[in-house]
Amino acid sequence: MRMPAEPFEPAVRDPRKLRRTALILTAIMILSAIGIPYAYLKLAERQALDDTPSVKGRILRNFRVWRQDGSEGDLGQIDKEVYVIAPVLFSESERWKETLGVLQRLSKRYAARTDFHIVCITVDPEGEPPEKLEEYAKELGAELPQWWLAATREESAHKFLKNVLKMETIPHQKDGKWVYDGSLVVIDRDRHIRQATIQRGKYFRENVTFDFERAAQWDAEGRTEGLEESNVETLEEILISTIDRLLAQPVSKR
C-alpha cells in the first residue's frame, strides 16, 4: 500500500546566504582577472631573462661536401662538436669582408680547441668547384681540420640552405650576380641549429641574426642606436658568447 505523498513546499532562500555567495563569486572573478595576467607577466619576465640560445631546427640528414684538400666531409656526421656555417662566394671575398674578419678572429680564438669548426659553403658550386677550394683556402688562411671550405652540387647546396638552415634568401642570380643570405649559423654539439637572443625591455626577447655585412652597413649609416660599440663589434660579442656557452654544454643523452 502506498503512503500518501507529502506535499512539496517551495524552498525558502536565505538572502544573506545569496549575498555571501555572490560576493564570493565576485571575489573569485576579480582575483582571476588579476592573477592570470600577473602570472603571464611573471612568465614573460622569466623568459625574457633566459638568454639560452633558441633552437631553430636540427641537421639530421647527410650533407656531403668536398673540402679544400680534396677529401669528402659530411655535416650530418659532425657530432659532439660546435661549428658555424657561412654561405659565401669565395671569388668575391670583398662582399663578405666583415664576415671573413669575424671568421678569422674566431679561428685564432679557438685555435687550441678540437671541438670547434668553421664551415664556409660556396653558393656557386659550378663557378667555384672543388678543385679551386685549395687556392681559396690559401688566400683566406683556412686550414683543416678546423676550417672547412666546402662545395657540393648547386641543387644540394641550395636545398640545404633553404630547407635545413632556413636562410632568409635562397641563393639565386639576378642580373648575372649572385644574391644570397650570408648570415652565420651556429650549430651545437647535438647538431641543433641555434639562434641567440637579446633582451628587449622587461618582458620581451628578440632573436639575433649574425649578418655582419648588414651590421657594417648600419655602422656606415650611423645607426648605432645608443650602443657603446659598433653594430659589428656588438654582434661579434654576442656570437662569441653564444659559441662559448654551447662549447660549455655537454652532449644531451639520446
Per domain, the residue ranges of the chain are: 17-49, 54-248
pLDDT of residue 47: 39
Closest CA to 103 of 120, 115, 89: 120
CA distance 148 to 133: 10
Size of the chain in residues? 254
pLDDT of residue 51: 59
DSSP 71: -
pLDDT of residue 56: 86
Q: Is 212 helix (H, G, I), strand (E, B) or coil?
A: helix
One pLDDT digit (tens) per residue for the chain, 254 residues? 454 555 545 555 566 666 676 666 666 666 555 554 444 434 333 433 445 788 888 998 889 999 999 999 998 878 889 999 999 999 999 999 999 999 999 999 999 999 999 999 999 999 999 999 999 999 999 999 999 999 998 889 999 999 999 998 999 999 999 999 999 999 999 999 998 887 555 445 678 899 999 999 998 988 877 667 888 999 999 999 999 999 998 877 55
| CATH number for the domain formed by residue range(s) 54-248 | 3.40.30.10
Q: Which residues contact 101 (CB under 8 A, 6 or more apart)?
A: 212
Roughly what angle, to the nearest 10 degrees, separates helices 231-248 and 212-220? 150
DSSP 152: -
pLDDT of residue 38: 43
Which cell numbers hold the place of 156? 644540394
pLDDT of residue 135: 96
- Cβ–Cβ under 8 Å, residues 63 and 152: yes
Residue 194: what residue type?
R
Residue 89: what residue type?
L
Strand partners, 197: 207
Q: Which residues contact 178 (CB under 8 A, 6 or more apart)?
A: 89, 92, 123, 124, 171, 172
Expressed in angstroms, the distance from the first to the final Cα of the chain is 76
Torsion sign, CA atoms 214, 216, 222, 226: positive
Cis status, amide bond into 125, omega within 30 of 0: no
